[in-house]
């Protein structure tokens, strides 16, 4: 066995762990009784009530070149 094989195994292992954490964050972090958009922080009601309305996007330019 050469030194490249353990290094490659370590890199692949870290990539698998990173992908697992990413998918767990996307799909598995909400509580069982939480709303679909809630990520389980227990303060969703205060965030949505206090959040200001964002300004609308400006219209696209009408000039043609």
* pLDDT computed for residue 16 by the predictor: 96
pLDDT (mean) for 2-25: 94
The pTM is what?
A: 0.42
First to last CA, the chain: 62
pLDDT of 18-65, one tens digit each?
A: 999 998 888 875 555 555 565 556 665 555 555 667 778 887 778 776
Provide DSSP, 33-51.
TS-TT--S-S-HHHHHHHP
What does the alpha-carbon distance between residue 20 and residue 38 come to, in Å, rounded to a whole number?
20
């Amino acid at each position: 066995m050469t030194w490249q094989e353990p290094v490659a195994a370590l890199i692949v292992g870290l990539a698998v762990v990173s992908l697992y954490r990413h998918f767990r964050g996307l799909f598995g972090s909400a509580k069982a009784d939480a709303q679909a958009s809630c990520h389980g922080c227990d303060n969703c009601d205060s965030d949505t009530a206090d959040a200001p309305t964002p300004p609308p996007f400006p219209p696209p330019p009408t000039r043609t070149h």
